[in-house]
A and B are shown apart, each in its own frame.
Chain A
Amino acid sequence: MKVLVPVKRVIDYNVKVRVKADQSGVELANVKMAMNPFDEIAVEQALRMREAGNADEVLVVSIGPAQNQETIRTALAMGADRGIHIEAPHEIEPLAVAKLLKAVVNEENPGLVLLGKQAIDDDCNQTGQMLASMLGWAQGTFVSALEIANDKAKVTREVDGGLEHIEITMPAIVTVDLRLNEPRYASLPNIMKAKKKPLDSKTAGDLSVDIEPRLTIVKVEEPESRAAGIKVADVQELVNKLRNEAKVI
């Protein structure tokens, strides 16, 4: 089975984002970028499946500007077999991403698509579900355990109340949560090897997909910052403040 893993290039999670002065978005110039952390978990899962003999190829796709090829190389250095880069603006919406991924699925016929449950930049949490629906496939979202047997997958989902177990028909979409696995680091020899792995490049036009944004960004602004608080000396003072000043207990 071939496993397709879409990966997104986002601002590194350790970087504090800054809103642009003209309120058109956040500053991306000269900011450290990295693979979306949830997508790293998806790559890792695909690699583990291949190592266990449950997948024979791990194909990574990334949609965005030329620099997204670095993100694909990161996944190849982790151990993925092959990459596809689809040239598009950085700010592409999940609906358009899902349409492009559908076109890739139709060309590549994977048995499973593993995605991160959300990207840490737009926090939309949409792409996997949209792709599943466009393909008419089942979905397992927010998954912390995955077990595939024949044409079914048993998934454990992290839901608001705890854990939920469902069975889905393959081929399927699985979006991964934090506790599915811990992604590996790429070793130096593997980083060197990744440079020679095949990486195709396409455009949205090649796939005949309309990627025009549907939403208009009116403005992006900083949230109101909280006023600085005080340090209390001890527990008595804390309880006194909560009772008599904040009046919350």
Chain B
Amino acid sequence: MSILILSDHENGQLSPVTLNTITAATEIGGDIDLLVAGDASGNVVKAAASIANVSKVLAANDKIFENGLAENLTPLLLSLSAKYSHIMASATTTGKNVMPRVAAELDVMQISDIIKVIDANTFQRPIYAGNALSTVSSSEAVKIITVRGTAFEAATAKGGNAAVQSLQSTGDAGLSTYLKSELSSSERPELTSAPIVISGGRGMQDGANFNMLEKIADKLGAAVGASRAAVDAGFVSNEYQVGQTGKVVAPDLYMAVGISGAIQHLAGMKDSKIIVAINKDGEAPIFQVADYGLVADLFDAVPQLEKELG
């Protein structure tokens, strides 16, 4: 068996989630090659080559790949597909965008968002926002898979010494053009890999009130998240959203503040190790999944919490 992984990278850095996907690949077994497409700096290729368990790094250094346009990445992945039994990507917005195109071209049914490897052909994945878990097996010649990063430990980033092979560019498909990004620049840890996440919901009442959560986040080294209700209300922007259609997180500690606990929100955080809920409505469904629930007005409790944390 041999496995190709499309690595995620941003601003010249390999995304940590790629390490989780490598662990999923290790559980399948066989050689693991890492594809790095559009790495102008060379840093990502270097980082990829030093990951333990990686056999080979394939570098396609053409700027048409830099922004992850699916129309351009698909021919590149297809040019490599014949050599692999599994082609995998993290279930990030990049992986979700590209992999179904590859699967369709190969006439293969993709297996999305796996959370467990049973064997090389059999995988578990959540359906219905995680309210049911489906185990599926595939007899396709090549398995196209996206991986939920939070369901697998990160592979060791050091200790490897993989060979780097340069690839010919497959060219610009001429269908799409990257214009610009509006990315939030934050000093805080990234939401999906942060050890602690503190999220606010509709109960926060206003975007400005999120600074109460930010103060606590800064004390704990936490990331700040939000429920869909808070994003829809315009309190914070979309990249904060935790839930079925937002980000899935599984930190050591998740604090839900002013969040009622809709099914679609629980889908994004209920695998957290410890869940804390602060809500003035003692009947809110979030308390059914919380390890520690505090029924209180968040506008009293949150400033107190900040003080207690010293």
Q: Of the 9-residue stretches A60-68, A122-130, A201-209, which lies at the interface with chain B?
A: A122-130
> Any chain A CB within 8 A of the CB of B175?
yes
| Beta-carbon contact of A179 and B232 below 8 Å | yes
Smallest CB gap from A228: residue in B: B288
Contact, CB under 8 Å: B135 / A218: yes
Q: Does B211 touch A at the CB level, under 8 Å?
A: no
In the complex, chain A residues whose CB is within 8 Å of the CB of B228: 178
Q: Among A17, A120, A129, point to the contact of B101 (Cβ < 8 A).
A: A129
User: With the chains together, A223 CA to B116 CA distance in Å?
Assistant: 13
B166 contacts the other chain (CB 8 A):
no
Question: Which of B176, B179, B264 is close to A138, meaning CB atoms less than 8 Å apart?
Answer: B176
Which of B100, B129, B134 is the one whose CB lies under 8 Å from A220? B134
Closest beta carbon of chain B to A119's beta carbon, Å: 10
Task: Determine the chain A residues whose CB is within 8 A of the CB of B71 once the complex forms.
Answer: 138-139
- Are B97 and A141 touching (Cβ within 8 A)? yes
B218 is an interface residue with CB less than 8 A from chain A? no
A231 partner, pick from B175, B177, B293, beta carbons under 8 A: B293
Contact assessment for A214 and B108 in the assembled complex, using a CB-CB cutoff below 8 Å: yes
- Convert A119-149 into 0s and 1s, putting 1 for each residue whose CB lies closer than 8 angstroms to a CB of B: 0111111111111111001110110100000
Chain B residues, Cβ within 8 Å of A154? 179
Choose one: B102, B130, B263, B295; the contact of A16 (CB below 8 Å): B263
Q: Which residues of B contact A162 (CB under 8 A)?
A: 181-184, 237-239
Listed stretches B80-88, B200-208, B271-279; interface member: B271-279
Query: By the criterion CB–CB under 8 Å, are B304 and A235 in contact?
Result: yes
Q: Within the complex, what minimum Cβ distance (angstroms) separates A211 from chain B?
A: 11
Question: Complex formed: what's the CA distance from A216 to B140 in Å?
Answer: 11
Question: How many Cβ-Cβ contacts under 8 Å join chain A to chain B?
Answer: 256
B182 adjacent to A217 (CB under 8 Å): no
- Residues 189-211 of A, flagged 1 when their CB comes within 8 A of B and 0 if not, give 00000000000000000000000
Chain B residue numbers with a CB within 8 Å of A108 are: none
* A239 in contact with B309 (CB, 8 Å): yes
C-alpha gap A219/B123 in the complex (Å)? 11
Smallest CB separation, B254 vs chain A (Å): 10
Contacts of A142 in B (CB 8 A): 93, 96-97
Report yes or no: B274 in contact with A166, Cβ–Cβ below 8 A. no
B74 within 8 A of A: yes
In chain B between 258 and 288, which residues have their CB closer than 8 angstroms to a CB of chain A? 263-264, 270, 273-276, 282, 287-288
Known: A94-B110, A123-B126, A220-B133. A230 touches B232 (CB 8 A): no
Chain B CB within 8 A of A19 CB: yes
- Is B252 located at the chain interface by the 8 A CB criterion? yes
Within 8 Å by CB of B70, from A38, A126, A139, A226, lies A139
For residue B10, which residues in chain A have a CB less than 8 angstroms away from its CB? Answer: 161
Collect the chain A residues with CB atoms within 8 Å of residue B74's CB. Answer: 133
Partner of A217, one of B126, B134, B139, B294: B134
Closest to A131 in B: B104
Cβ–Cβ contact A214 & B93, under 8 A = no
Interface size class of B (residues with CB under 8 A): 35 or more
Closest to A226 in B: B289
Chain B binding site: helix, strand, loop or mixed by DSSP?
mixed
Interface string of B299-310 (1 = CB under 8 A from A): 001001100110
Most buried by B among A95, A158, A215, A222: A215
B78-116 vs A, Cβ < 8 Å mask (1 yes, 0 no): 000000000000001110111111111101111111000
Interface residue? A69 (CB, 8 A): no
Within the complex, the shortest CB–CB distance from A44 to chain B, in Å, comes to: 15
A126-B112, A130-B103, A215-B138 known; A160 vs B93 contact (CB < 8 Å): yes
Question: In the complex, what residue of chain B is closest to A152 when comparing beta carbons?
Answer: B177
Are B97 and A242 interface neighbours, CB within 8 A? Answer: no
Interchain nearest-CB distance for A61 vs B (Å): 18
Contact B305 A126, beta carbon cutoff 8 Å: no
Q: Which residues from 13 to 43 on chain A have a C-beta closer than 8 Å to any C-beta of chain B?
A: 13, 16-17, 19, 26, 38
Do A246 and B291 have beta carbons less than 8 Å apart? yes
B245 CB–A CB distance under 8 Å: yes
Check B136–A238 contact: CB distance below 8 A: no
Q: Which of A159, A167, A215, A234 contacts B137 (CB 8 A)?
A: A215
Give 9 new A-B contacts, CB below 8 A, not counting A17-B128, A139-B101.
A141-B93, A157-B93, A159-B94, A159-B181, A217-B135, A221-B132, A221-B135, A229-B289, A229-B292
Can you list 30 pairs linking A and B with CB atoms under 8 Å apart? A13-B264, A93-B109, A94-B110, A98-B104, A126-B100, A126-B112, A129-B101, A130-B100, A133-B101, A139-B176, A158-B238, A160-B93, A161-B183, A162-B237, A165-B179, A165-B181, A166-B178, A177-B245, A215-B111, A216-B136, A216-B138, A221-B132, A221-B135, A222-B132, A223-B130, A223-B132, A234-B294, A235-B308, A242-B274, A248-B253
Q: Which residues of B contact A (CB under 8 A)?
A: 10, 67, 69-71, 74, 92-94, 96-105, 107-113, 118, 122, 126-140, 174-184, 192, 196, 220, 228, 231-232, 237-239, 244-245, 247, 252-253, 263-264, 270, 273-276, 282, 287-296, 301, 304-305, 308-309
